[in-house]
Structure 1
């Protein structure tokens, strides 16, 4: 409020004066009523209950420091009778504000760390699972590779052995077939001696153009043809000689150039050897093909 200076007749501003807290609270002298305003009640409650916010005693230090208001105070503030009381109120308010800020900072930091830890743990678990699956798959493939190679090699060898066994079985089957055929034909010739006529005539054709000197037959066959001379047509100068070493149904011709074995057993043996050679060539061809396939697969 402006006042007139009686000496200078000029107006001057009345300096601000702090209210008397002791008087307003009824503790000091004065005639004013004992009452408190809203400002005093608020700060009196704050001063009487310094820890009413339930702040922890130990909190982490925030990145700011305490506010020092002493730099903003002038000499006239220290000379006022109530300046000490106001200073105490302001200091306590600042201290409470700092405690609240520290508590809020600590709580926010704790919640942030907890949230970050949970998120990091979840992401770490997912990443760990994916990496574990990939690593397990790679290790499994590395372990299986030698086993797969050995298994494939065993299969290839088994295939080769199977083919060898198959060809050996075929050879044995051919031998057995010829043996059975020889026995069947021998029995047939004994039951039908006249069938030997075709064997002897065929042998004579094979001897051409050599000159036939004599014909060797089994003794039983010679006896049969002597009893039935019309069944065997030979030149008159050809002798028929019995030979026990020749099987029944066999025939050996002696010519001026050598001997011709036209016996049934010999003919079957020739066929058997021919079939054996064919089987052997086929087996070697398949074995070479199998080895080439194994080399390509390896």
Structure 2
């Protein structure tokens, strides 16, 4: 309740506006003092805030530097991780390529090896066949050479043996000579020209008595010829010659045997 409007019967005085103004001023002054005191109290707190500004700047700088360092570390880690991944990928690719290359090279090498082995086998076969062919050819040539060398010598040996055997038998030799002369005489009987019978002197001695009888019929002349072997003879005319010598007989026989052999 307002004291100024409350009636006081004992101490009542009329309201004075000057007292009211003074009271208002006093209250206002008191309020100003309170505000000033609060301001004064809060003023010391502002000074520490102003004093801590450099520290805040330092902290901000350190934070920025730390952030920059972290960013740099992040970039380095990313670069290192990229490089490691690249190296691992390269190694993996290298190993994969190496394995693929090894397999491909192995297959190619195997194929080339088979081709080379087949070629070598074919070459060896050709060489072997050629060598065997040459061996057979040389062997056949050797056999032919042996035949050409030995067979004539065997024939000569056989002829010599037969010649020695037959030539050593006088009776066989004489009978053969008589048969030869008779055959030649029969073949030459149609000739009217004179003939000469050439004999070995030894054969002429025992044949002359036998041939004198026929000499009158065929008009031949008996001639001793030491160049004719015993058991052989030759008949000569003016136009013909018949060689019945032993040497000629053996040559004819040897030629026949050699022709039969070939």
- TM-score, length of structure 2 as denominator length: 0.50
Larger radius of gyration: 2
Paired position in structure 2 for 1:243 = 225
Distance 2:128 2:215 in 1: 77
Q: Is the 8 A contact 2:159 2:250 kept in 1?
A: yes
Q: Is the 8 A contact 1:217 1:251 kept in 2?
A: yes
Relative to total residues, which structure has the larger helix share, 1 or 2?
2
Distance 1:268 1:143 in 2: 54
- SS of 1:260's equivalent in the other structure is strand
Count residues in correspondence.
Answer: 193
TM-aligned CA distance change 1:161 to 1:197, over 3 Å:
same
RMSD of aligned residue pairs (Cα, Å):
4.9
TM-aligned CA distance change 1:264 to 1:192, over 3 Å:
closer
Q: Is the 8 A contact 1:197 1:232 kept in 2?
A: no
TM-aligned CA distance change 1:236 to 1:208, over 3 Å:
closer
Paired position in structure 2 for 1:185 = 166
Distance 2:186 2:197 in 1: 13
Equivalent of 2:175 in 171, 176, 194: 194
1:121 aligns with 2:113: no
Displacement of 1:103 in angstroms is: 3.9
Distance 1:183 1:233 in 2: 32
Q: Is the 8 A contact 2:167 2:173 kept in 1?
A: no
Distance 1:265 1:233 in 2: 28
Which consecutive unaligned segments of at least 5 residues does structure 2 have?
1-63
Distance 2:71 2:236 in 1: 148
Equivalent of 2:184 in 196, 203, 210: 203
Which consecutive unaligned segments of at least 5 residues does structure 1 have?
1-83, 283-298
Q: Could you report, residue by residue, the CA deviation over 1:149-207 in whole angstroms, capped at 9, with x for unpaired residues?
A: 79967875775565355334444444444333333332234565333221211221332
TM-aligned CA distance change 1:259 to 1:111, over 3 Å:
closer
Distance 1:133 1:223 in 2: 92
TM-aligned CA distance change 1:135 to 1:241, over 3 Å:
closer
TM-aligned CA distance change 1:205 to 1:268, over 3 Å:
farther
Equivalent of 1:265 in 244, 247, 253: 247
Displacement of 1:246 in angstroms is: 1.9
Paired position in structure 2 for 1:80 = none
